[in-house]
């Protein structure tokens, strides 16, 4: 979702050639291949096929395999996106080889170093040459960490570019028999799903909620594995396989509310004006809570159910769209890159 609009904008530049590298960190068909077709991306010219492993092993494998690609291709610039292990690994390779790197979605901080993504974000931003930030607070974070303002470029949220382009297509998708009124759920972060106590509590909250409103839960493969090991009867929930981006966007747009631990979904619901309850104590995207529709409810059952009761009774939080979340972020990124020589 982050690569596609930038790829498209750069493709219109006659002086720039691109190579799309897929690290293979996400390899499940519903979490990988389908996104390329939905988003109009070409088949990656290079696939590192690293697969799943521990954080250290996965990061190391990406570094070893990506280094070969960089040495062969000799790029002038590499763009990395988001906060996954691949983001950090590719940035590290380029910094060692003195190749300029741009980080799209830079400066986000949760101040919670238990999250592996937080470590990835901090280190990546320190070694990148161009830091493309999605919100004002991200730039403040970077300057507080001693990063020169000249490296920071406030361009807006590139995720919204994909959403704006594909939302009309999503809204043409049929409802597929889903109920008219439902809450949409996604859970995938390690702090949520790898802790049996935390996951059990959240699942019990969702089952309680399902007595009052339909609950649709497209379940991440790792989450499904963890839930199956808990012995919880989740038959009251409508559990789906991971959904293609456009289908998920349609589900999100039509939902009464969303329950999530995903940063990207906090952003999308804010743009769409959909109430979002985030089952975390913190967020690296605070603008979704200070400006948007997001509310942090932690893993407290009473807080989640209290806030959801307000939403179901029409008393939901009303937010607005943050600055530069306008569908033109990729164009602003390209404008910065045009000035390179």
**Can you tell me the distance from the alpha carbon of 58 to that of 325, in angstroms, rounded to the nearest whole number?**
32
pLDDT value at position 28? 57
Over residues 96-111, the pLDDT tens digits come to 999 999 999 999 999 9
pLDDT value at position 239? 95
Do 21 and 151 fall within a single domain? Answer: yes
User: How much is the average pLDDT of 170-188?
Assistant: 94
Q: Quick check: is 102 in a domain? A: yes
Do 174 and 149 fall within a single domain? Answer: no
**Can you tell me the distance from the alpha carbon of 319 to that of 288, in angstroms, rounded to the nearest whole number?**
8
**Model confidence at 52, in pLDDT bands (50, 70, 90)?**
confident
**Can you tell me the distance from the alpha carbon of 153 to that of 146, in angstroms, rounded to the nearest whole number?**
15
Do 102 and 184 fall within a single domain? Answer: no
Catalytic residue among 188, 212, 220, 341: 188
Q: Quick check: is 287 in a domain? A: yes
Over residues 126-158, the pLDDT tens digits come to 999 999 999 999 999 999 999 999 999 999 999
Over residues 300-314, the pLDDT tens digits come to 878 999 999 999 999
Do 35 and 143 fall within a single domain? Answer: yes
Do 146 and 200 fall within a single domain? Answer: no
Is a pLDDT exceeding 90 seen at residue 70?
yes
Q: 23-37, 152-166, 320-334: which range is least confident on average?
A: 23-37
pLDDT value at position 37? 83
Do 50 and 137 fall within a single domain? Answer: yes
**Can you tell me the distance from the alpha carbon of 39 to that of 5, in angstroms, rounded to the nearest whole number?**
9
Q: Quick check: is 161 in a domain? A: no
Q: What is the 3-state secondary structure (H, E, C) of the chain?
A: CCHHHHHHHHHCCCCCCCCCEECCCCCCHHHCHHHHHHHCCCCCCEECCCCCCCHHHHHHHHHHHHHHHHHHHCCCEEEEECCCHHHHHHHHHHHHCCCEEEEECCCCCCCCCCCHHHHHHHHHHHHCCEEEECCHHHHHHHHHCCCCHHHEEECCCHHHHHHHHHHHHHCCCCCCCCCCCEEEEECCCHHHHCCHHHHHHHHHHHHHHCCCCEEEEECCHHHHHHHHCCCCCCCCCEEECCCCHHHHHHHHHHCCEEEECCHHHHHHHHHHCCCEEECCCCCCCCHHHHCCCEEECCCCHHHHHHHHHHHHCCCCCCCCCCCCCCCCHHHHHHHHHHCCC
pLDDT value at position 203? 92
Over residues 244-278, the pLDDT tens digits come to 999 999 999 999 999 999 999 999 999 999 999 99
Q: 50-54, 87-91, 115-119, 322-326: which range is least confident on average?
A: 50-54
Do 241 and 269 fall within a single domain? Answer: yes
Query: Across the chain, what does the average pLDDT equal?
Result: 93
pLDDT value at position 299? 85
Q: Quick check: is 251 in a domain? A: yes
**Can you tell me the distance from the alpha carbon of 72 to that of 151, in angstroms, rounded to the nearest whole number?**
27
pLDDT value at position 301? 78
Q: Quick check: is 319 in a domain? A: no
**Can you tell me the distance from the alpha carbon of 258 to that of 273, in angstroms, rounded to the nearest whole number?**
11
User: How much is the average pLDDT of 102-121?
Assistant: 95
pLDDT value at position 25? 67
Do 39 and 69 fall within a single domain? Answer: yes
In b/e form, how buried is each residue of 48-75, taking b as 16+ CB within 10 angstroms? bebeeeeeeebbebbbebbbebbeeeeb
pLDDT value at position 81? 97
pLDDT value at position 26? 60
Q: Quick check: is 163 in a domain? A: no
| First-to-final CA distance of the chain | 28
**Can you tell me the distance from the alpha carbon of 337 to that of 180, in angstroms, rounded to the nearest whole number?**
45
Do 149 and 176 fall within a single domain? Answer: no
Q: Quick check: is 225 in a domain? A: yes
Overall domain count for the chain: 2
**Can you tell me the distance from the alpha carbon of 247 to that of 251, in angstroms, rounded to the nearest whole number?**
6
pLDDT value at position 255? 98
- What contacts 65, CB < 8 A, 6 or more positions away? 23, 48, 50
Q: Quick check: is 318 in a domain? A: no
pLDDT value at position 51? 84
Q: 56-70, 106-120, 133-147, 189-203: which range is least confident on average?
A: 189-203
The range of the structural domain enclosing residue 97 comes to 3-156+325-338
Do 35 and 56 fall within a single domain? Answer: yes
- What contacts 27, CB < 8 A, 6 or more positions away? 49, 51, 52
Do 147 and 186 fall within a single domain? Answer: no
Based on the residue annotation, tell me whether 328 is a catalytic residue of this protein: no
Over residues 12-30, the pLDDT tens digits come to 999 899 999 999 866 555 5
Does residue 4 or residue 191 have the better pLDDT? 4
Q: Give the global pTM.
A: 0.92
Over residues 219-228, the pLDDT tens digits come to 988 888 888 8
- What contacts 4, CB < 8 A, 6 or more positions away? 39, 40, 41, 161, 162
Is a pLDDT exceeding 70 seen at residue 341?
no
Query: For the chain, what percent of residues have pLDDT higher than 90?
Result: 80
Residue 152's CATH number: 3.40.50.2000
Strands 257-260 and 182-186: parallel
pLDDT value at position 123? 98
Do 224 and 138 fall within a single domain? Answer: no
Strands 214-218 and 238-240: parallel
pLDDT value at position 279? 95
């Amino acid at each position: 979702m982050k690569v596609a609009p930038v790829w498209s904008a750069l493709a219109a530049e006659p002086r720039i050639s691109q190579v799309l590298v897929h690290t293979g960190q996400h390899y499940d068909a519903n979490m990988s291949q389908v996104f390329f077709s939905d988003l109009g991306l070409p088949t990656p010219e290079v696939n590192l096929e690293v697969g799943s492993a521990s954080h250290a092993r996965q990061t190391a494998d990406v570094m070893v395999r990506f280094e070969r690609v960089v040495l062969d291709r000799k790029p002038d610039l590499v763009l990395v996106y988001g906060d996954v292990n691949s983001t950090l690994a590719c940035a590290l390779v380029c910094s060692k080889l003195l190749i300029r790197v741009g980080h799209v979605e830079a400066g986000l901080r949760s101040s919670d170093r238990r999250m592996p993504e937080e470590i990835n974000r901090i280190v990546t931003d320190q070694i990148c040459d161009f830091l493309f930030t999605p919100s004002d607070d991200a730039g403040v974070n970077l300057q507080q960490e001693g990063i020169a303002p000249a490296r920071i470029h406030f361009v807006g949220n590139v995720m919204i570019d994909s959403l704006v382009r594909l939302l009309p297509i999503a809204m043409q998708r049929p409802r597929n028999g889903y109920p008219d009124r439902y809450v949409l759920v996604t859970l995938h972060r390690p702090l949520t799903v790898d802790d049996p106590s935390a996951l059990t509590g959240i699942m019990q909250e969702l089952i309680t909620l399902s007595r009052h409103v339909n609950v649709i839960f497209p379940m991440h493969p790792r989450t499904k594995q963890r839930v199956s090991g808990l012995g919880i009867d989740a038959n009251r929930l409508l559990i789906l396989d991971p959904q293609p981006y456009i289908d998920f966007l349609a589900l999100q747009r039509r939902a009464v509310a969303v329950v999530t631990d995903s940063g990207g979904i906090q952003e999308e619901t804010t743009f769409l004006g959909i109430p979002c309850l985030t089952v975390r104590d913190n967020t690296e995207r605070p603008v979704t809570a200070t400006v948007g529709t997001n509310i942090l409810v932690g893993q407290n059952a009473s807080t989640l159910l209290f806030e959801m009761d307000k939403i179901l009774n029409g008393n939901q939080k009303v937010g607005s769209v943050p600055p530069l979340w306008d569908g033109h972020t990729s164009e602003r990124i390209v404008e910065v890159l045009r000035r390179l020589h």
